[in-house]
Amino acid sequence: MAELNIAQPIKRVRLHEQVARTLSLKIINRELEPETLLPNEDALSRQFGVSKPVIREAINFMDAKGLVHVRPRIGARICDPSGWALNDPLLMKWRMEEAPEKDFILNLLEVRIIIEPIAAGLAAERARAADIDKIFAAITMMEDARDIEEHIAADIRFHLAILEACGNEMLISSLKPIIENILGSSFTHFIHSFAAAKDSIAIHRKVAEAIRGKNSDDAITAMKQIIQRSAEDTKTNDF
């Protein structure tokens, strides 16, 4: 009898990432104050039960994200929040996994409403037949979804397909990490009803039809409506 493939491979999280995740979130959540020093490597090694090289890797990671600044013989000092790379995909993903604050999600929605309608407008001007096929295939997946998880997966594919159809590498690089790593997590916080999710398909189809019809203004307007609806749902949701 053939063996069924019913599970996804389990990803192993490296030790330094686990340490970096814990410390990064404490910094971002202001449990560790800016301009203060982290405990030294010996102390952190004891607290986390890992080797000093693991601690060193974690601190180097945070240094690269602007969270800390390492100086010889002084240690790792927590940087001013103005220098934090909060748009880093991994940092955003960690924040979403850790019961995100409403302001954070609203900030992400503001970024989307600035960028994503522009991408939809450009897609209406530039999308090729294959791009349009991907957009409508995602809508079909949304219509065929049997539960909220399938709907969210299809919704993400829809937004990615439009982004990729815009043909602007700067827009794609700015927004793709948010859509890929954050959108699904944020959806789970403000999509409570499968029926309400199904109701949103009509406005998604309106975007797709505008892109297929090469109507840039309608594509921009409809995409704004999608994101504004998400923002309203988020504002009225208790986290």
DSSP string, 183-197: IHHHHHHH---HHHH
- Tell me what pLDDT residue 11 has: 47
54-68, 119-133, 191-205, 215-229: least confidently modelled range: 191-205
φ and ψ at residue 54, rounded to 5 degrees: -65, -45
Token reading at 121: 């407008």
pLDDT in tens, 33-70: 999 999 999 999 999 999 999 999 999 999 999 999 99
* Rounded Cα distance, 174 and 114, in Å: 11
pLDDT in tens, 133-180: 999 999 999 999 998 889 988 999 999 999 999 999 988 888 887 787
pLDDT above 90 (res 87): no
Token reading at 68: 């800390």
Give the type of residue at 84. Answer: W
* Rounded Cα distance, 106 and 108, in Å: 5
Work out the percent of the chain whose per-residue pLDDT is above 90.
Answer: 59
φ and ψ at residue 155, rounded to 5 degrees: -60, -45
**Is residue 183 within 8 Å of 159, Cβ to Cβ?**
yes
Token reading at 90: 């991994």
Element (H, E) at 69: strand 68-71
* Rounded Cα distance, 123 and 166, in Å: 4
- Tell me what pLDDT residue 8 has: 41
- Tell me what pLDDT residue 60 has: 96
- Tell me what pLDDT residue 107 has: 81
pLDDT above 80 (res 88): yes
* Rounded Cα distance, 96 and 182, in Å: 7
With CA atoms as reference, report the closest residue to 110 among 187, 224, 236, 239: 224
- Tell me what pLDDT residue 21 has: 95
Element (H, E) at 78: strand 75-78
pLDDT in tens, 201-221: 999 999 999 999 999 999 999
- Tell me what pLDDT residue 1 has: 37
Q: How far is CA 108 from the centre of its chain?
A: 8
- Tell me what pLDDT residue 238 has: 54
pLDDT in tens, 66-80: 999 999 889 999 999
pLDDT above 50 (res 110): yes
φ and ψ at residue 146, rounded to 5 degrees: -95, -15
Confidence band of 95 (pLDDT split at 50, 70, 90): confident
**Is residue 123 within 8 Å of 165, Cβ to Cβ?**
yes
pLDDT above 90 (res 182): no
pLDDT above 90 (res 99): no
Matching residue, tokens 């599970």: 7
- Tell me what pLDDT residue 100 has: 66
